[in-house]
Amino acid sequence: MEIYLQIIIRCIITFVAFGIMTTILGIKHIAQATTFDYIVSIVIGSVGAVLCVDTDIAWYYCVLAMGVLVFFAWLLNLLNRKTAFVRRYITGTPVLLISQGNIMYEGLKKCQFSVNDLLRELRYHGYFYISDVEDAVLESNGQLSVLPKEAKRVVTLEDLNIKKSEKGLVSNVIIDGKIIEGNLRAMNRTEEWLKAKLAEQEVGVERVLLGTLDGQGELSLYRKDYKKQRWTILE
């Protein structure tokens, strides 16, 4: 029974340690992670697994090892923000794969990209013809950034001389039939105002799955009882 208790305690310690490390290093989407971030994550995860189940190794040894790894990861991230040398030679720099419509063979070799890899990434971004692409850059985190040729770019409001509607971010004021009072106050609205709006649309708050409010005071409601057709082309 003692071994089970030790494993439970070790798992709790691991969970707490990972939570602290995440706070120190910051939340980063996996698509934004660099190669170094990926390596550190794997090593820390392996040490955490040892901490959970290997009772022959003192738990504080594992915590110390994770702490050292986190310190060096934090230090490298700091240097990455402050020092060009680290960004260039350790974290990596973007590589040009297409320039002025031409495929850069040296760039492909440097990134160990084949032409098929490049075409796949372009299709993923919605470009099925290289002739539509002006420049393509492989970022240090492995993401491909694409600049289409001018004739293939999406038309913007500025191109059409149309003034942008200043709606801003929307706030969730109702979630699953419950009013989020803090969000209402942040939008300078009251619960009485919200209930009056619901009454105008003849819907009770308990029937609302999601209610959003934008910067212009426009309330959008998505009801729980919405029914879709039984058969669709997606089934």
* pLDDT, tens digit, 9 for 90 and up, residues 107-117: 888 888 888 88
71 contact partners, CB below 8 Å, separation of at least 6: none
Would residue 204 count as lying in a domain?
A: yes
Q: What is the CATH number of the domain that holds 110?
A: 3.30.240.20
Contacts with 131 (C-beta within 8 Å, 6 or more apart), sequence order: 101, 149
Supply the pLDDT for residue 234. Answer: 36
pLDDT tens for 176-201 read 888 888 888 888 889 899 989 889 88
Query: Is residue 36 a contact partner of residue 91, using CB atoms and an 8 Å limit?
Result: yes
> Domain count of the chain?
3
Q: Specify whether 74 is located in the same domain as 42.
A: yes
What per-residue confidence (pLDDT) applies to 34? 63
Residue pLDDT, tens place only, 73-111: 888 777 777 776 666 666 677 888 888 888 888 888 888
Asked whether residue 230 is assigned to any structural domain, the reply reads no
Task: Give Cα separations from 140 to 76, 83, 171 (angstroms).
Answer: 15, 16, 34
The parent domain of residue 15 ranges over 2-88
Residue pLDDT, tens place only, 7-32: 888 888 888 888 887 777 765 555 55
- The one-character DSSP state at 171 is E
Is residue 107, in this structure, part of any structural domain at all?
yes
Assess whether 148 and 190 both reside in one domain: no
Residue 232 lies in a domain: no
The 10s digit of each residue's pLDDT in 129-183 is 888 889 999 887 778 899 998 877 777 767 777 666 655 667 888 888 888 888 8
166 burial (CB, 10 Å; 0-12 / 13-18 / 19+) is exposed
What length does the chain have?
A: 235
Radius of gyration, alpha carbons of the chain: 26
Structural domain contains residue 209: yes
Residues 77 and 99 in one domain: no
Question: Chain-wide mean pLDDT for the chain?
Answer: 80
